[in-house]
């Protein structure tokens, strides 16, 4: 009895895939996967002047990076204009739509006038009963909305929402240039593609009653609707460029992990008790509209950053090796053709991944492991590379040179014997060494650092530090 779930994500290619679109796609995807249904990708490119192929590519790129795979499509509405035309002809023939000869200019003038005098702008229906064409004017086609009664949108998230039909406009379904409009094609396509559920942002809630009447005009069954709350910027207005990065690929380029972004996005409006971190499998298993909230949510970059840090430290280092490579090049840690031993790199990443919140941070922190030499941070140099530490550094250098095995355990033994001999704290030795090894004062444990950098480079760096202090 229960028909198979079919849902779609239908972005318009007038920009990159943004945070809000990605979340809409994610909820559709989760609902489809949870119900073992079908997820369709459809490109809403009826606006020829604003849609571009580059943006279609960008959207696909974003979806692919996020791992939101679709089962059918991408379909393009541009390819389906003939289909829409036949549907429109049918409505006109049946008297459910009519030609409108009003020009955009007069329409706009009337709208401004209505707004200025405090009235609700609404098409007055003056072409509704026109029998004769206006010579020399190519008409648009308007859909005839009922003007009495009411329409109920039964929404999975908001419950029943009632609209008075008298509020509904006779909307244009075919422009005078012959292209169909959104509110019309969305219905035709959702019917044609047999969508069982329409899951979209709640900026579309007000359009829904109009669309319902179009379904009815064709005698089609109305799908189930779910209108997702919006994502807002920190000032509680709709998220946009001025709130900072909003495109999905921007987060990719800043070194975020796709699963972390997805995890963050799903928690904007959805919850499962107190759980914060979910695997994709858990999300698919637990997803339900019952746990989707109704209130708009403010996008919080700090929490996303924290979550990404959590994902970083829980990602296998071997995987991180692959992911960090492009960033190593981008940050000039290695050259375009640079080669790094991946097993060694994985060990280095083991020590760094719980300290890096993004792949960019990871790449940068890898610099002192990979680079032939380090550059000293001025403050660190002044504080730790001084006369006081020189005897310890010299002594350590000699001890390390003769060490049988350059391992964590042996290194620690060596350090301890020196600090005990002089009655100093480990920090008094470790910090100068850290500056010598990394150029700065922050790093993983000093024994890990030495072990990974290896004896040869370690000795060279200690020598350079000693020379620096001696002013040679």
Partner RNA sequence: GGUCCCAUCGUCUAGCGGUCUAGGACGUGGCCCUCUCAAGGCUAAAACACGGGUUCGAUUCCCGUUGGGACCGCCA
Which residues are tagged catalytic?
241
At its nearest, how many Å lie between RNA and the CB of residue 350?
12
Contact of 153 with 160, CB cutoff 8 Å: yes
326 binds RNA per the rule CB under 7 A: no
If one counts every other C-beta atom within 10 angstroms of the C-beta of residue 282, the result is: 13
At its nearest, how many Å lie between RNA and the CB of residue 433?
8
Q: Which of residues 189-218 bind RNA (CB under 7 A)?
A: 202-207
Report d(CA 263, CA 258) in Å as an integer.
9
Task: List the structure tokens of 261.
Answer: 């972004």
Beta carbon nearer to RNA, 38 or 365: 365
Task: List the structure tokens of 344.
Answer: 């060694």
The pair phi, psi for residue 43, each rounded to 5°, is: -95, 120
Q: Which helix (H) or strand (E) holds 149?
A: none
Q: Which of residues 338-357 bind RNA (CB under 7 A)?
A: 354-355
Contact of 150 with 165, CB cutoff 8 Å: yes
Nearest to 41 by CA among 178, 193, 204, 249: 193
Beta carbon nearer to RNA, 338 or 407: 407
Report d(CA 385, CA 463) in Å as an integer.
12
Contact of 12 with 51, CB cutoff 8 Å: yes
Task: List the structure tokens of 158.
Answer: 């908001």
136 binds RNA per the rule CB under 7 A: no
What does each C-alpha distance from 223 to 114, 189, 212, 408 come to in angstroms? 35, 12, 9, 64
316 binds RNA per the rule CB under 7 A: no
At its nearest, how many Å lie between RNA and the CB of residue 249?
19
CA 38 to chain centroid: 22
At its nearest, how many Å lie between RNA and the CB of residue 248?
17
Report d(CA 195, CA 335) in Å as an integer.
50
Nearest to 263 by CA among 281, 278, 285, 248: 278
At its nearest, how many Å lie between RNA and the CB of residue 339?
28
300 binds RNA per the rule CB under 7 A: yes
441 binds RNA per the rule CB under 7 A: yes
At its nearest, how many Å lie between RNA and the CB of residue 19?
13
294 binds RNA per the rule CB under 7 A: yes
Report d(CA 182, CA 51) in Å as an integer.
13
Beta carbon nearer to RNA, 160 or 472: 160
404 binds RNA per the rule CB under 7 A: no
Report d(CA 43, CA 55) in Å as an integer.
10
310 binds RNA per the rule CB under 7 A: yes
242 binds RNA per the rule CB under 7 A: no
Beta carbon nearer to RNA, 238 or 286: 238
Beta carbon nearer to RNA, 162 or 337: 162
- Per CB under 7 A, the list member of 296, 325, 346, 460 interacting with RNA is 296
Q: Candidates 241-249, 296-304, 330-338, 390-398 — which segment interacts with RNA by CB under 7 A?
A: 296-304
Q: Which of residues 273-292 bind RNA (CB under 7 A)?
A: 273-274, 276, 290-291
At its nearest, how many Å lie between RNA and the CB of residue 105?
9
50 binds RNA per the rule CB under 7 A: yes
Q: State the number of CA atoms in the 13 A half-sphere of 470 facing the CB.
A: 11
Nearest to 11 by CA among 208, 225, 248: 248
- Per CB under 7 A, the list member of 118, 135, 149, 402 interacting with RNA is 118
Beta carbon nearer to RNA, 196 or 365: 365
Q: Which of residues 148-187 bind RNA (CB under 7 A)?
A: 158-159, 161-164, 167, 169, 171-172, 175-177, 179, 181-183
Beta carbon nearer to RNA, 5 or 433: 433
């Amino acid at each position: 009895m229960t028909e198979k779930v079919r849902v779609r994500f239908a972005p318009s290619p007038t920009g990159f895939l943004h945070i809000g679109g990605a979340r809409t796609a994610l909820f559709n995807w989760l609902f489809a996967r949870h119900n073992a249904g079908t997820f369709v990708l459809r490109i809403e490119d009826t606006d020829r002047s604003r849609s571009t192929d580059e943006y279609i590519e960008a959207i696909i790129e974003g979806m692919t990076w996020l791992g939101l795979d679709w089962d059918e499509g991408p379909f393009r509405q541009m390819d389906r204009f003939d289909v829409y035309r036949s549907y429109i002809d049918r409505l006109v023939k049946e008297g459910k739509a009519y030609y409108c000869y009003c020009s955009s200019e007069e329409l706009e003038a009337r709208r401004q006038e209505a707004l200025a005098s405090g009235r609700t702008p609404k098409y007055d229906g003056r072409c509704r009963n026109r029998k004769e064409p206006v010579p020399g004017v190519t008409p648009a086609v308007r859909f005839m909305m009922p003007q009495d009664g009411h329409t109920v949108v039964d929404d999975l998230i908001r419950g029943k929402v009632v609209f008075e039909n008298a509020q509904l406009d006779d909307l244009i379904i075919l422009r005078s240039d012959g292209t169909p409009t959104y509110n019309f094609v969305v219905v035709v396509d959702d019917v044609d593609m047999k969508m069982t559920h329409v899951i979209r942002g709640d900026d579309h809630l007000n359009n829904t009653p109009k669309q319902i009447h179009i379904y009815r005009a064709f005698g089609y069954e109305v799908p189930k609707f779910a209108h997702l709350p919006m994502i807002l910027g920190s000032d509680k207005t709709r998220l946009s460029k001025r709130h900072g990065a909003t495109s999905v690929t921007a987060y990719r380029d800043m070194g975020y992990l796709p699963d972390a972004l997805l995890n963050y996005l799903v928690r904007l409006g959805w919850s499962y008790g107190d759980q914060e971190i979910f695997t994709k499998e858990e999300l698919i298993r637990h997803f339900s509209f019952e746990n989707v909230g109704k209130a708009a949510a403010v996008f919080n970059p700090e929490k996303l950053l924290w979550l990404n840090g959590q994902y970083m430290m829980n990602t296998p280092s071997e995987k991180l090796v692959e992911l960090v490579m492009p960033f190593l090049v981008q940050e000039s840690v290695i050259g375009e053709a640079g080669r790094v031993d991946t097993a060694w790199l994985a060990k280095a990443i083991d020590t760094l991944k719980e300290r890096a919140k993004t792949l960019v941070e990871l790449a940068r922190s890898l610099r002192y492991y990979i680079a032939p030499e380090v550059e000293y941070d001025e403050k660190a140099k002044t504080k730790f590379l001084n006369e006081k530490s020189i005897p310890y550094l010299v002594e350590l250098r000699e001890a390390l040179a003769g060490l049988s095995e350059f391992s964590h355990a042996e290194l620690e033994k060596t350090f301890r014997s020196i600090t005990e001999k002089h009655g100093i704290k480990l920090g008094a030795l470790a910090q100068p060494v850290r500056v010598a090894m990394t150029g700065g004062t922050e790093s993983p444990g000093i024994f890990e650092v030495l072990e990974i950098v290896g004896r040869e480079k370690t000795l060279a760096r200690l020598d350079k530090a000693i020379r620096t202090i001696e002013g040679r």
